[in-house]
Amino acid sequence: MSTQTLEEAVALTKKFTEKPSNEELLKLYGLYKQATEGDNLTERPGGFDFKAAAKYNAWLNFKGLSKVESENQYCQLADELASKYI
């Protein structure tokens, strides 16, 4: 488990010198939204807005996960990605 805060983990991701894969970015996004807002109760985006749909689904993947657990997983993922992208 990471000892950093969510804000520190977000700052860490901004230091990446290479862009993570779309899959990694979507996982970060989903965990961040779950940690900061809880379950995704928004309306599903239209069928042709693929980027919005991917983000919607990424957040939906963490439905039911507590804000604290989401934050812990985000921090852990940020640490793992930092070892690859910094």
Cβ distance 38 to 62 under 8 Å? Answer: no
Please indicate, yes or no, if residue 1 is contained in any of the structural domains: no
Sign of the Cα torsion 66, 19, 9, 51 reads: negative
DSSP 69: H
Identify the CATH number of the domain in which residue 40 sits.
Answer: 1.20.80.10
Position 76 in a domain: yes
Which residues 6+ apart lie within 8 Å of 27 measured at CB? 58, 61, 77
Contact 31, 73 (CB under 8 A): yes
Q: What is the pLDDT along the chain (86 residues), one digit of tens a residue?
A: 456 999 999 999 999 999 999 999 999 999 999 999 999 999 999 879 999 999 999 999 999 999 999 999 999 999 999 999 99
Tell me if 38 is assigned to some domain. Answer: yes
Structural domain harbouring 21: 6-85
Say what the pLDDT of residue 47 is: 78
Q: Each residue of 30-41: pLDDT tens digit?
A: 999 999 999 999
Q: Is residue 51 assigned to a domain?
A: yes
